Chains A and B, each alone.
Chain A
Amino acid sequence: MTAAGSSTSSAFPPAIELRGINKHFGPVQANRDVDLTVPVGTIHGIVGENGAGKSTLMSILYGFYQADSGVIEVGGQVCPIHGPEYALAAGIGMVHQHFMLVDIFTVLENILLGAEGGALLGPGMAAARAEIARLEADYGLEVDPDALVGDLAVGLRQRVELLKALYRGANILILDEPTGVLTPQEAERLFEILTAMRDRGVTIILITHKLQEIMAITDNVSVMRAGQMVAHRETAQTTREELAELMVGRQVLLRVEKSAADPGDVVLHADGLSLIDDAGVLRLDGVSLDLRAGEIVGIAGVTGNGQSELLEVLSGIRPPSRGRLSVHDRVIDHDHPCEPEEMRDLNLAHVPEDRQRMGMISAFAAWETAILGYHRDPAYTGPILLKTDAIVEDTDGKMDRFDVRPANPQLTSDSFSGGNQQKLVLAREIERRPDILLVGQPTRGVDIGAIEFIHRQLIEMRHAGCAVLLVSVELEEILSLSDRILVMFEGRIVGEVAAADADAQMIGLMMANAHETENAAANG
């Protein structure tokens, strides 16, 4: 049933055929002569680095943008798509990375939203309920239609999005990074559903940057690089290594090579840290951990289980509500807070999770971002004036050593790609030679080539005797870099594993806090 590459051998016309799509935003050509053929009833993966043009292409297909030139065919018919309503009419649905659901509506109300079928809700509701029951049975999309969406777990909300698209009659589904917020178990469940859909003739386009997902579930895969389609492959005929190489345009080391750790003294000790936020919600619940010199401790967990708050407390941005934190000899608690500036003086550096929001200032020149947090250092400022020339020269050196491109300190920070921004932030923090390095999501939104570089830097820091705390939602990253792994769930540390004994399945269960109940079930 699978068709090879762009030439379809199927008797049916392809579900989607794009020919010669061009799109530019100003001088940036986001899509250049893009061709894509997606046969009916297949799962088609689209991979590419950030900024390769995947999202733009899908936005054109879904009608958010109009292509400058090119033809869109749906089911063999030329189909101009001037807006999302045209896409819906052509049977194309899209599930966004960030869900578009009303939290205070029930599942049923959310599904009905925009397709109420009349002024009175009653008849539409009844019809929808029946239709949803059918879809649930067909695809295994179980979800309680009367539950409030706000009460649902993330994986279930995603099912609501899928139901929404199907209810509107979509037989072609676009999924944009669908597993970004899911636990491995939820992701597996999603893949089962997608497979069931495919088997019933639904065509699925999956945008992702996770190569293992492509390998696991797709029939065909297309690789984009710099706005162009560089390859179409049958998934069975390709390998992760080949795809990575196609994405980046050169060979990539996917495994991180590192020797055994040689942990030294405890440099950071947290004892029962709790944090209650302004809304009175308990975000951290009695977190205790030790961080030793010369080791990388990974914090695994699904987004929003307290990892961000942990980083904020450890870096001094927020004082803990309860509990104590010792950094070297300095003891920090609610009554003795330690501002970020003092933390830096204690030789603790912090690469924030969200560099756009916290790690840099978009409007600042690169040299200004490169001293953020260290701008009071006498090396950078005199009694009154900033030593601009010295800073620019210093930034030049950092850009050179960390391979930041383009290596121009005068460009504004937001004119760099995600990977280069991250390298600049890393250079700023790592070149202070900290004793303790907190790193949040070091490779989020970073292209594969830069990931390799960033991972190497972190390992080198460890070798130099730095204590590294790594927070990441990429389980693979945690597994390949860490010496010890702590798993967070709802603000608590629910488990600790030595990296050598860890596997994704086990960590995944801990992330969902399911391991204890499963153990209990097994024992009982």
Chain B
Amino acid sequence: MRTKQKMPPQMANGSAKLPTWVDIGLLPLINVALAFVVSGLLIATLGQDPFEATWIMLRGAFGYEESLGYTFYYTTNFIFTGLAVAVAFHGGLFNIGGEGQAYIGGLGVAIACLALDQYLPFGLLLPICVLAAALFGAGWAFIPAYLQAKRGSHVVITTIMFNFIAASLMVYLLVNVVIKPGQMSPESREFASSAWLPYMHEALAWFGWEVAQSPLNLSLIGALVCCVLVWGLIWHTRWGYEIRAVGANAEAAVYAGISPSKIIILAMCISGALSGFVGINELMGVQHRLLLDFAAGYGFTGIAVSLMGRNHPVGIILAGLLFGALYQGGAELAFENSAFSPDLIVVIQGLVVLFSGALSYMLRGPMERLYLRLRPPPPPPIASVEA
């Protein structure tokens, strides 16, 4: 730092401030639009009609009840993993391990279900499973967190490695331990129905509202509750205050009597617990058994969701919805037209991540200049404004 050029204060504070609606509303929309334009060009070079493809994707994601159910079901997972990344991010930690934490969280759910589903009713089993998901997810995040806090091992490296460890561990357990005897596929036995989280279409039917069947289940409500809790935690409790303090300026946090090691562990454990809830949605909600690879990249996509949602629960819901729609609409597109392989859908998702995540500040400069041109600057500061 010492050799860095000294910048005048005006530069140090960054340049012009964009109004909030441009910053968190318009810019992400333009970024997503750009991603779709490039995707459209790509589709066109494959000899397909991009407008038709867009239409199929939109209809596939939102067009009818069943598709909406699927979209929201994916969204549920993205909200959990997106929130997980966001909590860690506020503490200045980049938790890449959502995938493994979700996987191990699911293991906790499965252990609880397999052990207790014969004895306990749903009402008792559910809180135990939620707790198990949180504990196992948090536990898997705790080790990298501890290594970061006490030994200085970078959490990005360790969480990535822990994804692989989780995957290997699950293969071992499913093949050797929890596999249902006498079958070839590495899956546990099916949970008893007392461990099944009601589907949304079932729940709505209790109120006399008949909707089409889909994997969407009551986890969505849990995800929305988590959004409120995370919002409250981060901005309205002293633990959130301490997490943000450590994330924004660890030195000032130490000055304020906050222990960064404790906060790193706290933030990572909350993060891991949130990832673990993917296990509730997937195993109790849909699969009703433990199986391989049920986390299916939700943990990784959560990074993009959180990034795009600016680490705020509301943004994460919206970004989760976008990625849910991409997953579901993309699946529909691949189903309708064999020219669109699932890989192409992944490319489109990748473009969205690229433009709204990695390049999210690309348009900021031009946007600021445009904004300044459209709106002339307020009168320059005069002497009396100075304190």
A359 interfacial by beta-carbon distance below 8 Å: yes
Which residues of chain A in 293-315 are interfacial with respect to chain B, using CB atoms and an 8 Å cutoff?
315
Residue of A nearest to B375 (CB): A27
Mark interface residues in A441-452 (1 if CB within 8 Å of B CB, else 0): 000000101100
A226-B257 contact given A26-B15, A98-B3, A375-B242, CB 8 Å threshold: no
A226-B10 contact given A339-B257, A340-B256, A385-B237, CB 8 Å threshold: no
CA distance A419 to B386 in the complex (A): 10
Pick the most buried of A225, A339, A358: most chain B CB atoms within 10 A of its CB: A358
Mark the stretch among A47-55, A132-140, A502-510 that contacts chain B: A47-55
Which residues of chain A in 261-287 are interfacial with respect to chain B, using CB atoms and an 8 Å cutoff?
none
A381 interfacial by beta-carbon distance below 8 Å: yes
CA distance A368 to B385 in the complex (A): 24
Mark interface residues in B4-37 (1 if CB within 8 Å of A CB, else 0): 1110111101011100000000000000000000
**Partner among A30, A99, A350, A414 whose Cβ is within 8 Å of the Cβ of B255:** A350
Q: Which residues of B contact A217 (CB under 8 A)?
A: none
How many chain A residues sit at the interface, stated as a range, is 35 or more
B387 close to A449 (CB less than 8 A) = yes
Q: Which residues of A contact B381 (CB under 8 A)?
A: 28-29, 226-227
Residue of B nearest to A405 (CB): B387
A64 interfacial by beta-carbon distance below 8 Å: yes
B252 interfacial by beta-carbon distance below 8 Å: yes
B248 interfacial by beta-carbon distance below 8 Å: yes
A30 close to B383 (CB less than 8 A) = no
CA distance A417 to B13 in the complex (A): 11
Which residues of chain A in 54-88 are interfacial with respect to chain B, using CB atoms and an 8 Å cutoff?
55-56, 59, 64
**Partner among A53, A339, A360, A417 whose Cβ is within 8 Å of the Cβ of B387:** A417
A362 close to B383 (CB less than 8 A) = no
Q: Which residues of B contact A358 (CB under 8 A)?
A: 249, 251-252, 255
A98-B372 contact given A24-B377, A25-B16, CB 8 Å threshold: no
A97 interfacial by beta-carbon distance below 8 Å: yes
Mark interface residues in B248-290 (1 if CB within 8 Å of A CB, else 0): 1101111111000000000000000000000000000000000
Distance in Å: Cβ of A353 to nearest Cβ of chain B: 11
A100-B255 contact given A226-B383, A364-B244, CB 8 Å threshold: no
A55 close to B256 (CB less than 8 A) = no
A26-B372 contact given A96-B6, A317-B255, A385-B236, CB 8 Å threshold: yes
B382 interfacial by beta-carbon distance below 8 Å: yes
Mark interface residues in A91-124 (1 if CB within 8 Å of B CB, else 0): 0000011111100000000000000000000000
A361 close to B10 (CB less than 8 A) = no
Q: Which residues of A contact B244 (CB under 8 A)?
A: 361, 363-364
CA distance A130 to B298 in the complex (A): 68
B377 close to A352 (CB less than 8 A) = no
Distance in Å: Cβ of B16 to nearest Cβ of chain A: 3
B199 interfacial by beta-carbon distance below 8 Å: no
**Partner among B2, B3, B257, B387 whose Cβ is within 8 Å of the Cβ of A447:** B387
**Partner among B4, B13, B252, B368 whose Cβ is within 8 Å of the Cβ of A361:** B252
CA distance A420 to B387 in the complex (A): 8
Q: Which residues of A contact B6 (CB under 8 A)?
A: 55, 96-98, 176
A344-B257, A372-B256 known; 10 new pairs, CB 8 Å cut-off, are A27-B372, A64-B5, A98-B4, A249-B383, A357-B249, A358-B255, A362-B248, A375-B256, A385-B236, A417-B387
7 closest Cβ pairs, A-B complex: A26-B16, A341-B257, A29-B380, A25-B10, A27-B377, A373-B256, A340-B257
Can you give 27 contacting A-B residue pairs, CB < 8 Å? A24-B380, A26-B15, A26-B372, A27-B16, A27-B377, A29-B377, A29-B380, A30-B8, A32-B380, A51-B10, A53-B8, A96-B5, A98-B6, A226-B382, A340-B256, A340-B257, A352-B255, A358-B255, A360-B252, A364-B245, A372-B252, A375-B238, A375-B241, A375-B242, A381-B238, A386-B236, A404-B387
Footprint of B on A, CB under 8 Å?
24-30, 32, 49-51, 53, 55-56, 59, 64, 96-101, 176, 225-227, 249, 315-317, 339-341, 344, 350, 352, 357-364, 368, 372-373, 375-376, 381, 384-386, 388, 403-405, 414-415, 417, 419-420, 447, 449-450
